[in-house]
Structure 1
Amino acid sequence: GSTSALTSRPGPYCPQPLSKEELEALKAAFEQGNLSGVVSRLQETLESLENVQLDVGITGETGSGKSSFVNALRGLGDEDAGAARTGVVETTREPTPYQHPQYPNVTIWDLPGIGTTDFHPDAYLEQVGFSRYDIFFIIASQRFTANHAALACHIQAMDKSFYFVRSKVDVDLDSSLRRRPSSYSEVGVLQEIRENCLEGLRAQGISSPHVFLLSAFELSKYDFHLLEETLEKELSHHKRHAFLMALPNISLHILEKKKAAMLEHMWLVSIVACGVHAEPIPGLLISCDVNVLARTLQGYCKGFGLDDDSLEKLAAQVGQPVGQMKAVIKSPLAKEISNILVVQLLIQVGSQTPKLSNEVLISVPFLGCLVSGALSFATTYKMLRSFVNEVAADAQRLLTKALKLDQLLYILHWKPPNSDFIISL
């Protein structure tokens, strides 16, 4: 994918969309002259965005790769600590929650298999606690059967979202290459698998099925970007943000998406940080809440995998010392973010913001009276934007280095377990 979105400078302001209810509440507070109320509402919105609960149910027949998919979405290999149990026989008897290792508000549920002869979708959904899940992934490693179709119909009737996933396509591709090496075509094999799945679902009464072809061990390949884009369109705004930030950093496309989400997020952070709890910054004519900014910068580092746990896991996956991974990183790591560092970063950009503050007032005129001044907002916003540009560039370099090491390991005919470069968040 293109790297331009990671390195280009964004336009001045791209406020994150708020819900209709949030916008109405803000408008009412502003019209009543309740400026502290406006900031309080925005702070509630920010907290809701960062803490919204997302529950994802993974279901399918025994042996379809449910548990491996659970692990892949959490940035884990099957043998990593805290991973869901995997095996060729059914290992999940009850709905089992697995919190994301970095985002505990995101829970991936490994659900019992549906392949038994006495399977009843209505009883199954009651058994697994249907109402708790925001979305379902229905997984098959071969054909989709009447059980898959019946479950999908019941989920749809209850007004929930579901997505068909055809797993283990890497295994099918390897088998096809061995059988027909001279006429092998990856595109052709994938198209054959897709048509086979669609025909099977139509035969079971699903009128317009959508099937995503995936491999839990090569998550960045095949249809994962299409699945991510589909969820981005169909999830509510706050849950979409949670899903995106929790995705493993396995491609430049995902890094670009995360950076865009952070750029939309930071105007809200800037207003809250310059609001009712703002304090003067020594050496600058601005006031802001340094604690809020420190937590935000730590969150940006975590989102791009620039924290110790993620880097150690990545180093283990590629069989290299963690110091070699850190060598490509120029920005501070998550553990290095402190209030003192935040003040230093604000001072660095402080001399460059008078012109920007005028742009702020033109773009968002109520900021002049809403916060301690447009200069405070402009300085804070510019610092956040500069920091995101830096950590995004570091994440790109880190992914590039990991991919090169992966290629080298293949050349040497040696591949450590789960070395598909799921860069844990």
Structure 2
Amino acid sequence: MLLHSQSEMEEIITTEEVNEYLDADNSFEIISPDEIKEALAYEDLPSAVGKIKDYLEQQDRVELNIAVTGESGSGKSTFINAFRGMGDEDEDSAATGVVETTMKPTAYPYKKYPNVKLWDLPGIGTPNFKAEEYLKQVEFQRYDFFIIFASDRFRECHAHLAAEIVKMEKKFYFVRSKIDANIYAEQRKKTFNKQNTLDAIRKNCIEGLESVGVNSPLVFLITCFDLTIYEFKNLEETIEKELPQHKRHVLMLALPNISLEINERKKKELEKNIWKLALLSAGVASVPVPLLNAALSISVDVAILMKELRRYYNVFSLDPASLQKLADRSGKSVDDLKYVLKSPLHAEINKDLVIKLLTGSSVAATEAAAEYFLGLIPGLGSLAAGSLSFATVYFTLKHCLDGLVTDARNVLIAALETSV
């Protein structure tokens, strides 16, 4: 792959042309990774690259709609805010209060992932509550799944709503919130045992759901004021596991960075796309038009890297607004958090920096990635330009992702050290 100055590249291919190449509109049909692998095994490189391009574009258009319902005052709005990494008083947060504040279904999207929405539904539990009518009123078909909240005790309205959701062939998860308050209240008893209290609460919810014919109901005990304790982790992992792969991907990237474990799982999710992006680069580099191809190849590589590195930057909340929010909550200054950032990407991601990263790729690592490319596609050993382009993008993304994950880990540790 030949390297040109930025001015030379822009003379041959404009930024608009690169973006058009990367962002061309396609009909929305989910392409599975297996289809891409089949194209590599049985078709040609352009066919595989076309499928990869469609696959990556489709990922950016995936929608996920989560319905959060329950009685008024059960903590559903606070949960929506916490699940988006926000406080109750932050701008664009869901309104909270001791009385019902939601009169109609209200969508609360993730700021960085607007296609992922948490819907705050009107409260249930009124004397005339009818589950079937309620679900029709809130347009139940719009949601991927429901989370039903109860904060005090299991009630008849919870049972009827759960049964109706199952009847309509939707999935739900039952959440018993405000567990911290329950534990605090029970501690005054001489016979208090924390685990026995938790087991009793869970048993009550399970028996109530089973009484209306719900088989093997999933019940999670949480406090919305601190998602790192009790069973939020189990809830999040269960939801993630039961979603289709393409929706699991977008949920994983949207989740707030509240634990080291979530950061690591985000890394693994992002790693799945690295070889696909590198192969997209290789497809351009392998076009047999030497002079145009060299300029097109480096331009596309820069565009691919800038788009993906900015995604990494946002996924791990290393942008100034996210660092400021974390500093406010942890009690540390933004400068303290920035001090632990070591990756060259902790500042602005621009063309000059990306070109520098491309030219600085390790020869040994690039050669190893090139061998992987040649083994990935039988019969393509003659495509030296393609293999080199694949290797450069593959190694650069892998190296940069590792660096940003380390930064995110160090920032979270620094924040937790203060708040403990």
Question: TM-score normalised to the size of structure 2?
Answer: 0.84
Query: Contact (CA 8 Å) 1:302, 1:334: kept in 2 or not?
Result: no
1:119-138 map, 5 Å: 119-138=129-148
Query: Cα deviations across residues 250-302 of structure 1 (Å, max 9, x unaligned)?
Result: 111111110111111211222223333898779xx978521121110111111
Query: Contact (CA 8 Å) 1:176, 1:184: kept in 2 or not?
Result: yes
Counterpart-to-counterpart distance in 1, 2:394 and 2:154: 49
Change (3 A) 1:39 1:143: same
Change (3 A) 1:206 1:30: closer
Query: Cα deviations across residues 170-212 of structure 1 (Å, max 9, x unaligned)?
Result: 11122223x14x7654333322322222223233433321101
Q: Which residue of 2 aligns with 1:143?
A: 153
| Aligned partner letter, 1:393 | T
Counterpart-to-counterpart distance in 2, 1:265 and 1:340: 24
Structure of greater Rg:
2
- Find the residue that maps to 2:69 and give its secondary structure: strand
| Aligned partner letter, 1:129 | E
Cα deviation for residue 246 of structure 1 reads: 0.9
| Aligned partner letter, 1:405 | T
Task: Name structure 2 gaps, 5 residues minimum.
Answer: 1-28, 287-291
Higher helix proportion, which one? 2
Query: Cα deviations across residues 105-146 of structure 1 (Å, max 9, x unaligned)?
Result: 111100001111111112111111111111110111122222
Cα deviation for residue 37 of structure 1 reads: 3.5
Counterpart-to-counterpart distance in 1, 2:169 and 2:304: 38
| Aligned partner letter, 2:112 | Q
Counterpart-to-counterpart distance in 2, 1:400 and 1:185: 32
Cα deviation for residue 224 of structure 1 reads: 1.6
Query: Contact (CA 8 Å) 1:273, 1:290: kept in 2 or not?
Result: no
| Aligned partner letter, 1:387 | C
1:5-404 map, 5 Å: 23-24=34-35, 27=38, 31=42, 33=44, 35-177=45-187, 179-180=188-189, 184-276=192-284, 288-333=300-345, 336-352=348-364, 353-365=366-378, 372-404=385-417
Counterpart-to-counterpart distance in 2, 1:29 and 1:354: 21
Cα deviation for residue 87 of structure 1 reads: 0.5
| Aligned partner letter, 2:387 | A
RMSD: 2.6
Change (3 A) 1:122 1:191: same
Count of aligned residue pairs for this structure pair: 385
Which range moved further: 288-297 or 70-79? 288-297
Query: Contact (CA 8 Å) 2:68, 2:121: kept in 1 or not?
Result: yes
Query: Contact (CA 8 Å) 1:287, 1:376: kept in 2 or not?
Result: no
Which range moved further: 347-356 or 50-59? 347-356
Task: Name structure 1 gaps, 5 residues minimum.
Answer: 1-17, 408-425
Q: Percent identical across equivalent pairs?
A: 44
Which range moved further: 358-367 or 375-384? 358-367
Cα deviation for residue 31 of structure 1 reads: 4.6
